[in-house]
Structure 1
């Protein structure tokens, strides 16, 4: 049996999925731009940020599970 360390493919797979989620990323960046001058500290883009990562996770999930042994 091989003594090699397992390689985590998740970061690589997530990077490959990011272009697939360009609409969600654009919405997040637009939100950041909109609130950059907020002086109240109450505005945030958490929803858009989470939408982007939800898209990435959805894309990556199938690929990640295919790499498991």
Structure 2
């Protein structure tokens, strides 16, 4: 039985895309992050984060966290990605 709104609001069914087309999609931000992670700035900041992480993990009772080091590392990555990401977007 049809609803009264079926006559007023048309129903459009989307065509199903092939699975192969979906596999071809690549996130440009992830590609840029991977490339930026290899740069010297990011590698240096990653080293600082790892040193902090090793220090914290070596202690059994500490209030220290590596939150700031992680934020600094992500800032370096985002700054690098931000320079190029809008060139890749449509």
Structure 1 residues without counterparts, runs of 5 or longer: none
Q: How many residues align?
A: 67
Aligned equivalent of 1:50: 71
TM normalised by structure 1 equals 0.82
| Structure of greater relative contact order (alpha carbons < 8 Å, 6+ residues apart) | 1
Which has more radius of gyration? 2
TM normalised by structure 2 equals 0.65
User: 1:39: how far off?
Assistant: 2.5
Higher helix fraction (1 or 2): 1
Structure 2 residues without counterparts, runs of 5 or longer: 1-16
The yes-or-no answer on 1:18 pairing with 2:37 is yes
Aligned equivalent of 1:29: 50
CA RMSD of aligned residues (A): 1.8
